[in-house]
A = this chain, B = another copy of it.
Amino acid sequence: MCSLPVPREPLHRVAVTGGTHGNEMSGVYLVRHWLQAPGELQRPSFSAMPVLANPAATAACRRYMDRDLNRTFISTFLTVRASPEDPYEVTRAQELNQLLGPKASGRAFDFILDLHNTTANVGTCLITDTAHNVFALHLCHHLQLQNPELPCRVLMYQRPGEESYALHSVAKNGLGLELGPQPQGVLRADFFSQMRALVAAALDFLELFNQGMALPAFEMEAYRTVGTVDFPRTKDGDLAGTVHPQLQDRDFQPLPPAAPIFQLFSGEDVLYEGEATVFPVFINEAAYYEKGIAFIQTEKLTFSVPALPSLTPAPTPVP
């Protein structure tokens, strides 16, 4: 497996970002809380910085103001000369790139953990761009081992050849944490607590790595995006039906050929026409209607993740 550079030094510059989508409330309220009470994000070798990624959208309780911020961290937007006519999120992506990057530079943050919710029934979902992100996969493995009671699934979101566009891609390493189902604009205590515990466990992992913990090789199941399926639509582009009751809420479950995927308003079923079983995720996510996505098709694979060399223990402050 071709892999991205892995850390050779302790990770000191770490950010935890929430409100990248302004109506995904677990991250919004965790970050707001940590901005007032940052102690929870401190570890002996680093203090993670809480960042409210999209303050305007958060204030308006909307996903975004002008365009989806979490699709904006690509060179087209990050390198263009700033103009007062820029969409709000282009300006904000440039600011975040200055704060946490610049992306792909030596000055970039060591790690970004970006917090999200979805209306889909994904449970706990850990999002990396690709299988090349070996360090992030070690973190995922750690979170899985720490939470044996949770189905804590790893999703490789990026499609082959696609430039990474998510906020966490600004740092040298990063991970998206996606919990659902939670409606937009609603803060559920269960997901709030669960996300808080997962962030704590992630920071603990970074601390263990900084202290020189060895990271042996392992095998891991993960889901990799292979395509997307749009809703059935009328000739005007409006919905002609919605996700079938037999598919709704069944994220990460196998979808075989000829299984029903949509129920038309006329009463008929639409069957899955693919030739192979896929594993749908983000089924009926509210924010994806406008993107033309009723669900994302993934394949379930087993990856061999190589060992990472232990760091020389970093000096820690004497308490």
Query: Contact residues of A with B, CB < 8 Å?
Result: 29, 32-33, 61, 119, 181-190, 192-193, 238-239, 242-245, 248, 263, 265, 284-287, 289-290
Interface pair A187/B29, CB less than 8 Å apart:
no
Interface pair B29/A242, CB less than 8 Å apart:
yes
Docked pose: A192 CA to B286 CA in angstroms: 15
Docked pose: A172 CA to B68 CA in angstroms: 45
Residues of B within 8 A of A285 (CB): 186
Give the nearest-CB partner of A284 in chain B.
Answer: B186
Interface pair A242/B286, CB less than 8 Å apart:
no
Interface centre among A243, A265, A287 (most CB of B within 10 A): A265
Distance in Å: Cβ of A133 to nearest Cβ of chain B: 30
Residues of B within 8 A of A244 (CB): 189
Residues of B within 8 A of A32 (CB): 238
Residues of B within 8 A of A284 (CB): 186-188
Answer whether A286 and B185 are a contact pair too, CB < 8 Å, given A29-B239, A32-B238, A265-B33: yes
Docked pose: A19 CA to B71 CA in angstroms: 30
Give the nearest-CB partner of A182 in chain B.
Answer: B183
Q: Which of B187, B238, B248, B290 contacts A190 (CB 8 A)?
A: B248
Answer whether A242 and B192 are a contact pair too, CB < 8 Å, given A33-B265, A265-B29: yes
Distance in Å: Cβ of A131 to nearest Cβ of chain B: 31
Distance in Å: Cβ of A117 to nearest Cβ of chain B: 10
Docked pose: A192 CA to B32 CA in angstroms: 36
Beyond A184-B184, A186-B284, A187-B284, 10 additional contacts (C-beta under 8 Å) are A61-B290, A119-B186, A181-B183, A183-B184, A183-B186, A183-B286, A188-B284, A189-B245, A189-B248, A192-B263
Give the nearest-CB partner of A34 in chain B.
Answer: B265
Residues of B within 8 A of A33 (CB): 265
Chain A to chain B: the 3 pairs with minimum beta-carbon distance, closest first: A183-B183, A185-B286, A119-B183
